[in-house]
Amino acid sequence: MIIVMVPNATEEQILEVVRRLEDRGYGHHISRGVERTIIGAIGTPEDPGLAEQLSRLSGVERVMPILKPYKLVSREHMPDTSPVKVGEFVFGRQKVGVIAGPCSIESREQLMETAEAVKAAGAIALRGGAFKPRTSPYSFQGLGREGLELLAEARQCTGLPVVTEVMDQRQVELVAQYADALQIGARNMSNFDLLREVGRISKPVILKRGYASTVEEWLQAAEYVASEGNLQIILCERGIRTFEVATRFTLDLAGAVVAKLETHLPVIADPSHATGNHKLVNAAAAACIAAGLDGVMVEVHPHPDRALSDGPQSLTPKRFCTLMETLRAVAAAVGREV
């Protein structure tokens, strides 16, 4: 349930609601707006008797049940899209954000060349994998801590905030020391211990949809993060597995739009992983912006033919510049900016 306080409710009135919730075994999340404070009750099942009691408290305007299985991330909890800040850029507002960089950090030279190129073209953040989940145990697995240190150096040189994937709950503290936003990859969307762990930190989390997960499962995964107190969540559609083999995965643009309607979280997409082909990335990314998503994440490599992972889907810096020009035109056509 959510408890909507009257305008200018006092701190004492808010704390009384919190105390009542805690006495009945509920957690809570407080959202303080310009005029009103909203308190989300965390716990199931919802108690009609408690809702009635809370509605009678001084300072409470109304109590509303939330019927969705994802409570805190639902539009019922917060009707307006929540802003999520990565560096100085705010996702969920008029501007569309483009995160770009290599799939894997391979060397200092490769990362710095890419970072300078994507910044010059207009990217708002640098992505790069220090720890890489790979299907084959014999494939390149990333540079680990060395990769994180290179990301920090790239941030210092370019001013771009950095985004990288965390694969294990034991890595969260380490990765959070270096990254401005932590990515949860598709393979880990249902790693609930990891989701809870990133929910306990104060860094933005980019949550990719599992490639065999429904939209509802994706949003419930986000709820795991939110239930630990961290609502700085950006959802990322990265393609799902279907019968189609013309592309690496199937970009579920309709599913991403459903997520926009169902949740107050910003939603972006990863057309690189969805298509698996650099020739398709521009069109897929443009479609995402036209559909109203809040940004895209794309892979860029100075020499895709030499990439240690995901070379076929990586854009060259020159192709990335072309993509940015396309996205600016599409964003302008739908009343937004890149």
At position 197, the amino acid (one-letter code) is E
Question: What is residue 68's predicted lDDT score, i.e. its pLDDT?
Answer: 82
State the pLDDT confidence band at 65, using cuts at 50, 70 and 90.
confident
CB 111 within 8 A of CB 87: no
Question: pLDDT (tens digit, 9 = 90+) per residue, 247-297?
Answer: 999 999 999 999 999 999 999 999 999 999 999 999 999 999 999 999 999
Terminal Cα-to-Cα distance of the chain (whole angstroms): 37
Q: Which among 297, 334, 290, 300 has a CA at the least distance from the CA of 320?
A: 300
Architecture of the domain made up of 84-333: Alpha-Beta Barrel (3.20)
Place of tokens 């401005």: 180
Handedness of CA 270, 274, 277, 279 (dihedral sign): negative
Q: Which of 45-49, 80-84, 105-109, 280-284 has the lowest mean pLDDT?
A: 45-49
In the predicted model, what is the mean pLDDT of residues 116-145? 86
How far is residue 195's CA from residue 89's CA, in Å, rounded to a whole number? 24
Q: What angle separates helix 278-290 from helix 253-262, to the nearest 10 degrees? A: 30
- Measured at the CA of 23, the angle between CA 22 and CA 25, to 5 degrees, comes to 60
Would you list the domain boundaries of the chain? 2-64, 84-333
State the pLDDT confidence band at 79, using cuts at 50, 70 and 90.
confident
Question: pLDDT (tens digit, 9 = 90+) per residue, 188-232?
Answer: 999 999 999 999 999 999 999 999 999 999 999 999 999 898 999
pLDDT at 36 over 90: no
How far is residue 225's CA from residue 195's CA, in Å, rounded to a whole number? 5
pLDDT at 157 over 70: yes
Question: What secondary structure letter does DSSP report for 278?
Answer: H
Which pair of structure tokens corresponds to residue 201? 């930190």
Strands (E) in 222-323, as ranges, are 233-237, 267-269, 295-299
Question: What is residue 28's predicted lDDT score, i.e. its pLDDT?
Answer: 86
Per-residue H/E/C for 37-99: EEEEEECCCCCHHHHHHHHCCCCEEEEECCCCCCCCCECCCCCCCCCEEECCEEECCCECEEE
* CATH assignment, 2-64: 3.30.70.1140
Question: Which pTM value belongs to this model?
Answer: 0.88
pLDDT at 133 over 80: no
Question: pLDDT (tens digit, 9 = 90+) per residue, 174-186?
Answer: 999 999 999 999 9
pLDDT at 141 over 70: no
DSSP character string of 145-176: HHHHHHHHHHHHHH---EEEE--SGGGHHHHH
State the pLDDT confidence band at 236, using cuts at 50, 70 and 90.
very high
